[in-house]
Chain A
Amino acid sequence: MKKVIAADPGLRAARYPRGAMRGPVMKIEDIAVRYGDCWSIRSATITLEPGVIHAILGENGAGKSTLLKAAAGFAPRVAGTVKIEDGAAAIGMVHQHFMLVSAFSALENLVLGNEPTGSFGRLDLTKARREAEALMEKTGLRVNLDARTSDLAVGERQRLEILRVLYRGARAILLDEPTAVLSPLEAEELYTTLGALAEGGATIAVVTHRMDEVIRFAGHVTIMRRGRTVLSRPIAADERNHPKRLEDELTRAIMGGEPPHEASPPALAEDAEVALSIEDLVLVDAAGKRVLDGLRFAVKKGEIVGIAGIEGNGQRELVRAVAGLEPGVAGAIVLGGARLPAVRSTGDLRKRRRAVAVVHEDRHADGLMLDASVGDNLVLGELDQIDGPAAEAALIKHRIDRFGVNPPDPARRAGDLSGGNQQKVVVARALDRIEASPERALVVLGQPTRGVDVGAAATIHGAVVAAAEKGLAVLLVSADLGELKRLSHRILVIHRGRIVAELPPTAADDVIGRAMLGMEDA
C-alpha cells in the first residue's frame, strides 16, 4: 500500500495555505446501523481526509448510502464511533433524491434554513443573491437563481444542491450516487468541480456504482459488501495507468468470496424440451425509459436459469412481466409452446398462477399481508380450491412443517415473524401450490433469499431444487452471485434490460461482475 501525501499532517499544512477552506477529517470506526430488524451496516470503518475525492463502491444494499448518512449523522447508529474534526456543522450532504422545494425559486431554495434577514425577519434576498453570485463565480457552479426549481434541469438542480451545501459553510460534502441522474458529460463536469473543491481542501466523499468514475477521479476508494467495509485504500496516480489491474481488484472486492456450494442443481436431461421462451420482451416505463429492451432467452423443463445483474437493470420488471403484472409489456412469453395471453382480469391472473408460481423480490410490498396471520398468508388466493376449514388447516400445517416456519404457529401475525421466516411463508405458498397444480410449468423467483439467514436460505434452496426435479422450469433472479452459481444450470447476465452474457455457473466472479457492469469484453 502506498503512502498518501494527505495523510501526513505536516505536509497537509504546507499544502493548504492558512485561511483556505480546509475540510474536517472524519473518522468512522466500526459502526453498525440497523433499520428495524434489518442490519444495513454490520461493521464499517473509514477515514475521510480532505484533499481527495473518496469513492465508496459496492453492490446495491451493501450499505454505501447508509455509511454516508451515518457520517452525516442521519442514520440510527447502534454501535461504533464517528469522530469529526470541528464538529458536525461543517458537513453537507447531497441526497440521491434532491431535497429541493420545487415550487420555490432557485434562490429561495439556496437560502432555505440559512436565510439572511433584515429587520422583522424580512428576507434579504439581495444579500443572498450577492453571496450566491460570488459563490458561483468561485466554484464555477452556475445556476439560474430566478428560475422556478421545478423548471431546472436535473444537472442544474444538483449544482443548486452543492451550492446550498457550500452556502451553508460546509467544508465536507457527501454525495449519494450523484451521477446516477446525470449524462456522461454532466458527470464529467461534476467530477471536475468536486476535484477542484477537494484540491482547495474540502473533504469530498461520493457513493457510486460506476467503476470507471472511481478509476478516473477518485484518490481513495472504499468497498462495502453486505454491510462491511472490505477494502479501503488510497489510489495512487500511477495506478490510473493500469486501469485493468485496479478494476480487477475492486471487482473482486465488490463480489467477495462466497461460501462453498451447498445445494446443487439436479441433472438436466440432454433432450429436455423448452418450457419457457421469452421473445423480444420490451417494456417502457412512465419516464419513457426502456426498462426491458428486447429481452430473449429460453428455459428448459427441469432447468434452473439464473439471472444476474446490478439492481435496476430490468430484473424486477422481468419477474412482473412473467407474473402477468405488466400489462404494457410488448413481445411474447411462450409457455409450453403456447403464447401466454395478456392478463386482463383477475380470472386471467388466476389461470396464469396455475401454471406459473411467482416470488416477488419485495416480500413486504408484494408477497405478504403483514397484518394477517401466517396461516392466512400461507393459503392466500387459493381458498376456492380448498375443501373446507379442516383441509385448510391441514394444508397450512403441511406447509409450515415442510418449510420449517418458526414459530410453527398459524395464528401468529405475519409481520411479527423474522425476515427469514416471512420469506419461507412466501416461498412455501408459491412452490407448494405450483407443485400440486396439474398445469404446473414454471417458477419465477425474485431475490428469494434476500435478507434471509443461512439456515432459511438452505431450506429455500432445497425447495427450489426439488421443484426443478419435478420438471418445472425455474427462473432465478438474484443479487447473490453465490446463490446463482450454486443453483443454476446457466447464468444469464442482464444489463439495461437486455441479456448481455450467458455464462456457465463455474464462471469466475469477476467475469460475471464485469458483464454485470456492462463491460464489453465479458
Chain B
Amino acid sequence: MSSIFSLTMLAESVRIAVPYACAAIGGVWAERAGVIQIGLEGILLTGAFTAVAVTHATHSPTLGLVAAIVAGVALSLGHGQLTERARVHAVISGIALNLLALAATRMGLRALYDSASNSPGIDAFRFGPTGATGGAMLLRVLADPVFFCALAAVAATPFVLRNTRFGLRVRAAGENPVAAASVGISVTRVRLAALAVSGAICALGGAHLAYDQQRFESGMSAGRGFIALAAVVVSGWRAGRAALACLAFGVLEALQIVLQDEVRKTAIGDLIQTLPYVATLLVLALAPRRAGAPEGLGKHAAE
C-alpha cells in the first residue's frame, strides 16, 4: 500500500491529469464567452492525431505541437462559425465536431499508415533523466514542454479573464451578450477569439496524450473531453478549480493503475478500474446544479 504515497503515484497523477486539465481550461474559455462547447473530445482527438502525423512526417515534435494547436484552433473556430454566425445550436454543432474528429482521424490512420487501430511509434520530446524510479518519472513529466505549456495556460487563464480588457469582454459576452453588444462590443468577434484560445489549449491536451503514448490510437481521447466538461461544471466555470478537479481525477486514475499492479487478477481490480467514473458521477450528482454558469451561455446578442 506504500505505493499510494510514492513519487511514482504523484508522477502518474500529474501525467494523467494534463489532457483533462487542458480540455477543461479550453471548456472554461469557450463557455465563459457564452458558447456551449461539448466538442472538446473531438478537439483532443484531432490534436493528438495531428501532433503524431506531423511529428512522424517531420521528426519534429515541436512542429507536431504547433500543428496540433493550429488544428485545434481551426476546429474550435469552425464550431464558432456554426454557432455564432449560422446560429446552429451549439450542442448539435458540438456533436458534429466530435463525430467529424472521430471519423477523420480514423480515415487519416487508414490513409497514412494503413491501419485501423494505431499509428507507428514516434519520437516525442525526451527531457529529464532516464530510469524507472519514481523521482525520475516525476522529473520526466515535469520537464516536458507540453506540460509546461499546459501549466502556463492553467495559471494564466484566471488572470487574463479577471484582469485584462480581453478577459472582461469575454466574460461580458458570456454573461450578457445583449448588454455587451449595447456598449459597442462585437460579441461574435470576442467569442471567436475566446474559442481560438479554447481550441489551442484543448489541442495541447491532445498532443500531450499522443506524445505520452508515443503514438496515436484510434479513439484515444476515450471520453476525456466529456469528463473535462464535468470538471468545468463542478468548478462553477472557474479555471483554477477546474484544473484541481482534473488533478483529483488524475489521482483516482493513477490509484487505479498503481493498485491494479498490486491486486492484479483479482475481482477487485475490475472494480477499481471504475473508480474515476464513479467519482465523476458522484461529484456531478452532488454538485449544486449550474451554480456559477455564465448567464448568457448559449444566448446571442441579437436574434
Contact = CB atoms under 8 A, between A and B. Distances in A.
B165 A117 contact: yes
A113 B178 CA distance: 13
A46 to B, nearest CB: 23
B267 to A, nearest CB: 49
Nearest to B185: A113
Interface string B153-183: 0000000000111101101100110111011
B131 interface: no
Interface string A230-271: 000000000000000000000000000000000000000000
B295 interface: yes
A113 B176 contact: no
B290 to A, nearest CB: 14
A108 B168 contact: yes
Given A117-B165, A121-B164, A112 B175 contact: no
A113 B295 CA distance: 19
B166 A103 contact: no
Contacts of B180: 101, 112-113
A123 interface: yes
B179 A99 contact: yes
Interface in B175-226: 175-176, 178-180, 182-185
Nearest to A100: B179
Interface string B127-167: 00000000000000000000000000000000000011110
Contacts of A108: 168
B171 A99 contact: no
A123 B171 contact: no
A191 interface: no
Contact of B184 (A101, A102, A103, A113): A113
Contacts of B182: 93, 95, 99
A111 B183 CA distance: 10
Contacts of A121: 164-166
Contacts of A114: 183
Interface in A78-107: 93, 95, 98-104
B184 to A, nearest CB: 5
Given A101-B176, A103-B171, A104-B175, A123 B183 contact: no
A99 B183 contact: yes
Interface string A325-364: 0000000000000000000000000000000000000000
B163 A102 contact: no
A104 B171 contact: yes
A98 B176 CA distance: 11
A487 to B, nearest CB: 37
Contacts of A289: none
Given A122-B163, A123-B165, A103 B183 contact: no
Contacts of B179: 98-101, 112
- Please classify the interface of chain B as helix (H, G, I), strand (E, B), loop, or mixed, using the class held by over half of its residues: helix
B164 to A, nearest CB: 5
B164 A123 contact: yes
A348 to B, nearest CB: 34
Interface residues of B, number: 19
Contacts of B163: 122-123
Contact of B175 (A98, A101, A111, A113): A101
A166 to B, nearest CB: 13
A96 B180 CA distance: 16
A95 B178 CA distance: 11
Given A99-B182, A102-B295, A115 B165 contact: yes
Contact of B183 (A120, A122, A164): A164
A75 to B, nearest CB: 13
A95 B183 CA distance: 11
A115 B166 CA distance: 10
A164 to B, nearest CB: 7
Interface in A113-158: 113-115, 117, 120-123
A104 B180 CA distance: 12
Nearest to A115: B165
Contacts of B183: 99, 112-114, 164, 168
Contact of A101 (B164, B165, B172): B172
A100 B165 contact: no
A115 B175 contact: no
B68 to A, nearest CB: 26
Contacts of B165: 115, 117, 121-123
B168 A102 contact: no
A164 B175 CA distance: 18
Contacts of A99: 176, 178-179, 182-183
A436 B105 CA distance: 66
A121 B193 CA distance: 14
A112 B185 contact: yes
A101 B168 CA distance: 11
A123 B168 contact: yes
Contacts of B295: 102-103
Contacts of B175: 101-104
B236 to A, nearest CB: 12
Contacts of B178: 99
A102 B183 CA distance: 15
B176 A115 contact: no
A95 B165 CA distance: 24
Contacts of A100: 176, 179
A102 B172 CA distance: 10
Contacts of A115: 165, 168
A168 B182 CA distance: 13
A122 B276 CA distance: 39
A404 B182 CA distance: 44
Nearest to B181: A99
A102 B166 contact: no
Contact of B164 (A98, A102, A122): A122
Nearest to A103: B175
Residue in B172, B175, B183, B185 with the greatest tally of chain A CB atoms within 10 Å: B183
A337 B290 CA distance: 51
B131 to A, nearest CB: 41
Contact of B172 (A98, A112, A120): A112
Nearest to B166: A121
**10 smallest beta-carbon distances between A and B, as pairs:** A113-B183, A99-B182, A99-B179, A101-B176, A115-B165, A101-B175, A121-B164, A121-B165, A103-B175, A113-B184
Interface of A: 93, 95, 98-104, 108, 111-115, 117, 120-123, 164, 168
Interface of B: 163-166, 168-169, 171-172, 175-176, 178-180, 182-185, 294-295
18 contacts: A93-B182, A95-B182, A99-B178, A99-B179, A101-B171, A101-B176, A102-B175, A104-B172, A104-B175, A108-B168, A112-B179, A112-B183, A112-B185, A115-B165, A115-B168, A122-B163, A122-B165, A123-B163
Given A101-B176, A112-B179, 9 more contacts: A99-B178, A100-B179, A101-B180, A103-B171, A104-B172, A112-B168, A120-B164, A121-B164, A123-B165
